[in-house]
């Protein structure tokens, strides 16, 4: 990486901060329960004349410890206070979003964001150009300034051969990984075929079982009507539902006696 690119990269790392676009006309954001507690403690210390405690570096750390051990019933006061502020803020924001000031802020914010995106793209482009230019210079130096068969040339050639070996090893390793992935994919494909085959076989078996039972029931109950309906292969499901309803609602029905007699002669094995 060139010196310019390095400097820009270092500078970017130092300046990489979250940019917050502040709308000065917007309602004031609600405070958390903890902030309310801190403000209350600060006020107590101020009124009691304990100004020295406020100036101590450990003030906020001590307040944090006090907040952690504060009983829930006392915390509730600050939590409710924060919740009330939050509700008021949400309501105020809904009204504010209907104003022209909010629309102007949105337009301004979008413009600033677009401008920043363009600046970042330009900065990245400049860094890339510097890197390419530096590499071109290095290649030019190698090609034009090293005498052939000199020590420098042989050292350069050896270095290039070493790079080629590393690249070949990398390609070989990638090829092995590719072959392993192919083998794994092939195994998965075979397993999927087996799974789908089992599912298909199970579905076919289920269909055959259903067809067999349908035939048995239709043949056995061919002369037994339920609610004026005789069983067929087309209406067997409806017929059985009616039969179930009859068993539930009128278990002493004469039709059920005929059903029992008919089914007693069926061989279900």
Name the pLDDT band for 53 (thresholds 50, 70, 90). Answer: low
Name the pLDDT band for 205 (thresholds 50, 70, 90). Answer: confident
Question: Scanning the structure block, which residue is given the tokens 């005498």?
Answer: 147
Could you give the C-alpha distances from 163 to 138, 144, 147, 169, in angstroms and in order?
16, 21, 21, 10
d(CA 90, CA 85): 9
Mean pLDDT, residues 48-60: 67
Res 1: pLDDT: 46
pTM: 0.39
Write phi, then psi, for 157 (nearest 5 degrees).
-65, -40
C-beta of residue 121 within 8 angstroms of C-beta of residue 24: no
């Amino acid at each position: 990486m060139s010196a310019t690119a390095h400097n820009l990269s270092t500078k970017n790392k130092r300046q990489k901060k979250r940019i917050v676009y502040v709308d000065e006309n917007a309602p004031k954001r609600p405070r958390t329960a903890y902030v309310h507690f801190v403000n209350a403690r600060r006020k107590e210390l101020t009124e009691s004349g304990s100004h020295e405690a406020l100036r101590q570096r450990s003030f906020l750390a001590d307040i944090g410890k006090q907040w952690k051990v504060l009983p829930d019933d006392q915390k509730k006061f600050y939590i409710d206070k924060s919740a009330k502020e939050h509700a008021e803020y949400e309501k105020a924001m809904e009204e504010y979003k209907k104003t022209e000031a909010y629309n102007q802020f949105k337009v301004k914010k979008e413009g600033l964001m677009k401008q920043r995106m363009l600046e970042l793209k330009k900065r990245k482009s400049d860094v890339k150009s510097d890197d390419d230019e530096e590499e071109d210079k290095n290649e030019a130096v190698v090609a034009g300034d090293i005498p052939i068969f000199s020590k420098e040339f042989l050292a350069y050639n050896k270095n290039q051969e070493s790079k080629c070996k590393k690249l070949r090893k990398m390609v070989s390793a990638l090829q092995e990984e590719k072959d392993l992935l192919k083998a794994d994919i092939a195994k998965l494909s075979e397993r999927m075929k087996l799974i789908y085959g089992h599912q298909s076989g199970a579905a076919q078996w289920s269909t055959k079982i259903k067809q067999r039972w349908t035939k048995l029931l239709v043949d056995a109950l061919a002369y037994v009507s339920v609610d004026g309906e005789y069983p067929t292969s087309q209406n067997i499901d409806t017929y059985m539902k009616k039969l179930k309803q009859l068993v539930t609602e009128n278990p002493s029905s004469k039709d059920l006696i005929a059903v029992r007699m008919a089914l007693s002669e069926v061989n279900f094995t």
